[in-house]
Amino acid sequence: MEQKTITLVQNSFEKVKPIAGTAAEIFYSKLFELDPKLKPLFPNSDSSMKEQGNKLMTMLGAAVAGLSNLPALIPVLEGLGKRHVDYKVEASHYDTVGAALLGTLSAGLGDEFTPEIKDAWTTTYTTMAKVMIDASY
């Protein structure tokens, strides 16, 4: 992955951190809008979904920070991918998650979600998802 891509993703994520709770809500709203069949894979209470959102943003933050050291990040992503099999996540779900992530970033960053930043996030997410899928299926 190119350093420019990593820098764009890391810098734009810094702008999302202050709205992490809202970003998580947007993400799950978009995810369930894109594929309502995914909703049963998640807790159904508001407090549990808030906790799930916190986990999402923490893991995303760690992954984004880890882009600076890909050899160390890859085993973490592989482990995460393997755990997601236990949660009934299918390989096809990764595309939906990617679309929800991009939609969330667009909503959260507004005009700052430029085509260049969108491409950087697309490349990054696609790379991370491939590592997770390859480790699991």
Domain residue limits, the chain: 3-136
Fold for 3-136, please state it.
Globin-like (1.10.490)
User: Per-10-residue mean pLDDT for the chain, 137 residues long?
Assistant: 97 97 96 95 83 94 96 95 92 97 98 98 97 93
Q: What is the pLDDT of residue 42?
A: 87
Vertex 90: Cα angle to 48 and 13 (nearest 5) = 60
Write down the pLDDT at residue 122. 98
Residues 42, 28: contact at Cβ < 8 Å?
A: yes
Q: What is the pLDDT of residue 106?
A: 98
Q: Cα separation of 64 and 36, whole Å?
A: 27
- pLDDT at residue 59, as a whole number: 94
* pLDDT of 137: 79
Which residue matches tokens 């809500």?
A: 25
pLDDT the model gives residue 81: 95
